[in-house]
Chain A
Amino acid sequence: MTSLTRRELLKSSLAATTAAAAGLPLSQAARAQAAAAEAGWKWDKGVCRMCGTGCGIQVATAGGRVVATKGDPDAPVNRGLNCIKGYFNGKMMYGADRLTQPLMRMKDGRFDKKGPFVPVSWQVALDEMERQFRKAYAAKGPHGVAIIGSGQYTIPEGYAAAKLMKAGFRSNNIDPNARHCMASAVVGFMQVFGIDEPANVYDDIELADTFVLCGANPAEAHPVLWSRMTDRKLGHKATKIFNITTYANLSSDIADVDLVIKPNGDLAIMNYLAREIVARGAVNADFVARHCVFAAGAVDIGYGMRPTVKFALDAEKDTVAKEMAVVLDKHEAVGQRRKAGEKIEQKDRTAAGRHWLISFDEYKKGIEPYTLEFVAEVAKGDADESIDSFKAKLKQLADAYCDKSRNILTCWTMGVNQHQRGVWVNTQIYALHLLLGKHGIPGNGAFSLTGQPSACGTAREVGTFAHRLPADMVVDNPAHRARAEKLWSLPAKTLNPRVGYDHVAILRGLEDGDIGFLWVQVTNPFQSSPNINHWMRAAREMDNFIVVADIYPTISGKVADLILPAAYMLEKWGMYGNAERRTQVWRQQVEPPGEARTDVWMVLEFAKRFRLREVWGEKKIPGLKAEGFADNTLPDVLAEAGKMGYTPDMTLYEALFARPENRKYAWPDPVAKGHGNSTVKALGENWFVEKALFEEYRPFTVGHQHDLAPFDVYYADAVRGLRWPVMQVDGRWQETKWRFSEGNDPYVKKGEGFNFYGPAFKALPIGTVDAVTDPKPTPLAGKAKIFFRPYAAPVEQPDANYDLWLTTGRILEHWHTGSMTRRVPELHRAQPSAVMYMHPEDARKRGLKRNDTAWVESRRGKVQVVVDTAGRNRPPKGTVSVAFFDESILINKLVLDALDPISREPDFKKCACKVYRG
């Protein structure tokens, strides 16, 4: 062995690790070589941060650096495998332009919005940040300041930021980028089950016979889950995969049936499938009678655009004007049982989530128009496919759902969520599985997949949304506020009952002057949001102050006034929650470079600068109207606070974070096993901040169907994350696989079979499919709702001028806005810049061919792209697709900022554009 070079030794070691992951036998010599190659390395468990799958990784450090990573062979999610994004986890912090010092726009030694970036000390940075915050807070009140947070927040980060805003500054203006990806899924869960997050787990992949992908492309976006699905197909011959998509993609390659649909055609298809389930007698009548009710909701809900054209460019005005009223097209008329050409006022645009109970007969009346003929006409998306071929596919899909002998899993992501009627499609998918009685049981269920590593664990569970508090509670529910005030030891009425500004509303607020201070954490909203020309201009030209904390200079950094250098995930302690409710943790592996600091430290350090007398006095909140509150006013709670032992001069750091009960969690802690803590080090304190914050958060979850285990349990060597609710049984911490079903979920009692126990929206008026007839709330505890939702057309569609559909998405080699994955300079070779995928015939008609440069232009902006007519994505005629990772091709300049009016999630998937030679 001594004759082997170090290179050979390392290679043998990697081969041995790979063989072990594949379940291939290993020789004694190979084991010995692996051990020799890794001498001096320290391995520790971690989590991949590059998507929402939640793959376990192992990280090796030596000499203060990360030297290697591998898929964690003991992680049940990925069983030792990683996708190509696994290359990034260990390498991403070592880019040449890593931010290591605060940078502020300056002129003549002072902050100047028009000045260039100049390196400054943390002291100078935080002083200016404090001054600017005070200015906006004094002039505009708690809702004049905002944080845009992230589904990439660690749990302690999101918790600290949300608590500072909601309990400290009494502002609900904190909203994560998860609004851009999961909000429609969340509302779907809340409306159908009364509680957020999936009932199913990844274990179902090996138990399913049929996979229906809808608006999802796991081959690119969730490669490890895709590997598990393709493995299932190889090993289980009966497996069938359906792919419902607006263009053929990498997932189509292995799918048995590819259904290329028109935008919003999914709404019609779900109703066709429901109609078939009913017509063919496939309804599980006993399950539906015992555990479900039928429901319908408001239809004329607008498109989440502004109610005015005041801020619109001239070219945008015709689309924006449709917010208040639309003329029904022939398909909407049939699907909604109305007249084509009728002009419909969008009267429910501010009460879009309104819904009520209906009878099964009313439900059947709703789905009746959705015949095979009608739906094929509405939904067929490929002009080159015959109507008969498309109809045959629809029938096959209906056969798959109605086949009682097959287990069926429906999985979806952004095609369904980033949708002007995204909540509707989410609820329709659940309706299919509930009608069949095939939800939340092994191998069967409707499974919403997630895009970011902690969209579930932090953004949703911790509640970093403008309307949420931890553990599914909401700010506009007095009982929820009271519970949060009790757990946070706050005086009554400290928390603000008015829902804050959502992500797009914060950006619009910069433009219309409502928001004067914005702090961006762990995200890149000036690249990732729709219609960004508006927000970039607002950031640079309006009187506001924008702080961006990041590890690299991003587009958002460029438009900011102050940039704070942040720590990368392996430079801090953290925990994420994935798409199957699995909470996973890691220790800090290395120190952050230069003066980079953790986001938790930034929040705590900022909190030190404000005293209770400044924030807990009377505050004006325009639009606040709530029982027990004077209109537009948050009361002074300082007197009450005094009785609780607070003094007006106490800082928010002392009152909210460094509380005596939190200081009990001492640092160093044996759980650290010698690893450092850069938050504690920079604070100069001796309490374990991340552990204390987690343990403070945990009581929100316990007994409330979200139960999390104590901090140390997750750090135990053998644990690879635990899926909540986690209960202590006979001294052991036991996770939950399937929710809502007896024998699986500890919250379901013996004899109940199923219990859809979520408490939200569980008393409703009764009505017909079209309207409420009896407003008296009828209770429906324990039941799930089977919704009818009609077809509605996209608000902006191709016309003579903008004659193509534009859709955007993610590709395998890059992630989110690419601020990390593009950072390793060589990566440009793998996918140098975003290309526009286009049908060769559409290209030819415009005098274009593969690799030509073209302009793509919408009402909102234009960019130059390289045309690809034979790439991984193969759009039908009339559609083009561009990925959004590339900061040199800001495709979101073109994207319409229409939202799902219920979830307030933008629709990145459909607007009209034109393409011409560049």
Chain B
Amino acid sequence: MNLSGILVVAEPAHLAAVLAQLALLPGIEVYQHDAARGRIVVVQEATDVGTEMAGFARLRALPHVLAADLVCHYFGDAPPAAPQLESALASLATPADSPLP
């Protein structure tokens, strides 16, 4: 479970439109907003960090969104895979100037 608290800053004049767009996005919940300052408190849930980041980029790209800043990030439930020596060696096995797998 990857959860992040994101502060979205919208143009105050278009706050309603931005809230409407946010309501349509999967994985996004709006908790609170400040109409005067265009501040919106959003919590995003995703299966992994990559999806979190893609979601974050998506927020930033919405019309009338001036900024999206990450405030907090929780990722503690699923224990990380233990590092595998084989993975490191596999990364190093290819020739020096060819891409890592």
Contact = CB atoms under 8 A, between A and B. Distances in A.
Contact of B76 (A62, A97, A101, A827): A62
Interface string A281-311: 0000000000000000000000000000000
B80 A94 contact: yes
A24 interface: yes
Nearest to B6: A18
B83 A830 contact: no
A580 to B, nearest CB: 20
Interface in B36-58: 39, 41-43, 45, 48-54, 56-57
A226 to B, nearest CB: 8
Nearest to B49: A824
A553 B3 contact: no
Contact of A80 (B31, B71, B83): B71
B5 A116 contact: no
A594 B51 CA distance: 29
Contact of B83 (A14, A21, A96, A825): A96
Contact of A593 (B66, B83, B100): B83
Contact of A14 (B56, B74, B92, B93): B74
Contact of B57 (A82, A84, A116, A227): A84
B41 A15 contact: yes
A91 B49 contact: yes
A90 B92 contact: no
Given A84-B57, A103-B89, A555 B96 contact: yes
Interface size on A, as a range, is 35 or more
Nearest to B91: A553
Contacts of B73: 68-70, 86-87, 90
B51 A826 contact: yes
B20 interface: no
A22 B7 contact: yes
A827 B41 contact: no
Contacts of B42: 18
A825 B95 CA distance: 21
Given A96-B81, A97-B91, A553-B91, A829 B74 contact: no
B50 A827 contact: yes
A830 B50 contact: yes
B84 to A, nearest CB: 5
A11 B72 contact: no
A15 B67 contact: no
Contacts of A813: 53, 57
Given A100-B83, A829-B50, A830-B53, A888 B70 contact: no
Contacts of B17: none
B57 A830 contact: yes
A11 B5 CA distance: 8
Interface in A585-628: 593-594
Contacts of A227: 67, 69
Contacts, number: 195
B26 interface: no
Given A19-B41, A824-B49, A71 B88 contact: no
Contacts of A536: 96-97
Interface in A540-577: 540, 552-553, 555, 557-559, 563
Nearest to A22: B39
B53 A84 contact: yes
Interface string A800-839: 0000000000000100000000001111111000000000
A533 interface: yes
B25 to A, nearest CB: 15
A430 B51 CA distance: 44
A19 B72 contact: no
B29 A11 contact: yes
B44 to A, nearest CB: 9
Contacts of B84: 96-97
A7 interface: yes
A117 interface: yes
Given A230-B66, A887-B99, A70 B31 contact: no
A688 to B, nearest CB: 28
B18 to A, nearest CB: 15
A238 to B, nearest CB: 18
Nearest to A69: B73
A68 B83 contact: no
A95 B88 CA distance: 10
Contacts of B29: 11, 15
Interface string A846-888: 0000000000000000000000000000000000000000011
B1 interface: yes
Interface in A1-24: 7, 10-12, 14-15, 17-19, 21-24
Contacts of A94: 80-81
A890 interface: yes
Given A22-B39, A97-B87, A824-B49, A68 B5 contact: no
A17 B50 contact: no
Contacts of A66: 76
A65 interface: yes
B91 to A, nearest CB: 4
A70 B72 contact: yes
A95 B93 CA distance: 18
B94 interface: yes
A594 B66 CA distance: 44
A394 interface: no
Interface in A59-92: 60, 62, 65-71, 80-84, 86-87, 90-91
A87 B52 contact: yes
Contacts of B43: 11, 14-15, 18
A160 interface: no
A224 interface: yes
B87 A82 contact: no
B31 A15 contact: yes
A96 B49 contact: no
Given A826-B51, A888-B99, A86 B70 contact: yes
Contacts of B96: 526, 536, 539-540, 555, 558-559
B85 interface: yes
Nearest to A558: B96
Given A553-B91, A557-B92, A594-B83, A81 B71 contact: yes
Contacts of A65: 76, 79-80
Interface string A200-229: 000000000000000000000001100100
A481 B56 CA distance: 51
A10 B29 CA distance: 13
A696 to B, nearest CB: 34
B19 interface: no
A828 B50 contact: yes
B83 A95 contact: yes
B83 A97 contact: yes
A630 interface: no
A18 B75 CA distance: 16
Nearest to B1: A7
A99 B84 CA distance: 8
Interface centre among A97, A103, A555 (most CB of B within 10 A): A97
Contacts of B49: 87, 91, 824, 826-827
B85 A101 contact: yes
A825 B53 CA distance: 12
Contacts of A87: 4, 49, 52-53, 56, 70, 73
B7 to A, nearest CB: 5
Interface centre among B1, B39, B83, B99 (most CB of A within 10 A): B83
A67 B75 contact: yes
Given A17-B5, A553-B91, 4 more contacts: A19-B41, A71-B70, A97-B84, A100-B85
Interface of B: 1, 3-7, 29, 31-32, 34, 39, 41-43, 45, 48-54, 56-57, 66-67, 69-76, 79-85, 87-97, 99-100
Q: Which 7 A-B pairs have the closest CB atoms?
A: A826-B50, A67-B76, A888-B99, A18-B5, A70-B72, A94-B80, A14-B5
13 contacts: A11-B29, A18-B5, A19-B32, A24-B39, A68-B75, A70-B72, A70-B73, A83-B70, A90-B75, A119-B85, A593-B82, A826-B48, A826-B51
